[in-house]
Amino acid sequence: MSFWKKIIGQTELSPEDKNEREREQQEKKKRREEEAKRLKEEQDRKREAKRIEKERRKAAELKKVERFFGSNPGMGKKLTYTANVETFEYVDRHLLRRDEKVLGVIQAEYDKTKKREIKGILIASEEKLIFAFVRGNNQYIEEFDYSKMKGMSLARDGFVSKELYIDYGRGRKKFDDIIDDDNFKYFLRAVNEKIVEFRNKPNTKPRAKATATGLDPNEKYKQLEHLAELKEKGILTEEEFFTEKKKILN
């Protein structure tokens, strides 16, 4: 064997040695391919697990949003939920029954006093009206009973906002910085319907004197006057006004 062949390792091999070397090379190649396949499958499994977890979290988040905003909430409502997630989670865990339906939600600033204004969320459920703000250790919660609400009124608050006044008990609650959009109108209708409903519920306030025809005439006139005020302020539509009027008269 020449010197250079020894240096570069090109020695003469027997056919058996050549076959053995080729078999070893084939096995190494097969092991490399199997290892590459295993790694790829592992990566695919991890990616699929991440995708499933992402979809699960997305579905869970959407379910939470739908709890307050109904099915198919728009991007604006999703952003409202995300920006106030601590508030919504607190209300869901501590203030609402599991089966208690949410009727409307708006962002508002509560003028608690002349020197204290609190930005938060107004939530109308089927049982009560809630104002809530929760962020870390800072929180403010107040609940309002529909049966103690005597009415609502609106005022302008700049070009695109509204002020909402609720006559509550012997006082008045003021909320402002409210965007005047369809969501706000829907919220007002829901709250007004609850005010009317709770006003006519037994045991929520002293019953009007009964007559042979039902409610005392004076009570009917008061309710009709209240409906007329709500219609004039734009809280009730023409159709809603006549529907509620018919209920009172009948």
Structure tokens at 189: 């209708």
Q: Is residue 210 scored above 80 in pLDDT?
A: no
Q: How far, in Å, CA of 173 to CA of 151, rounded? A: 11
Structure tokens at 131: 């104002």
Report the top-level CATH class of 70-249. Answer: mainly beta
**Are 211 and 217 in contact, with CB atoms under 8 Å apart?**
yes
For residue range 21-69, list pLDDT tens digits in order.
Answer: 888 889 999 999 999 999 999 999 999 999 999 999 989 999 999 999 9
**Are 182 and 131 in contact, with CB atoms under 8 Å apart?**
no
Q: How far, in Å, CA of 80 to CA of 74, rounded? A: 10
**Are 172 and 160 in contact, with CB atoms under 8 Å apart?**
no
pTM recorded for the entire structure? 0.64
pLDDT confidence band for 207 (50 / 70 / 90): very low
pLDDT of residue 113: 84
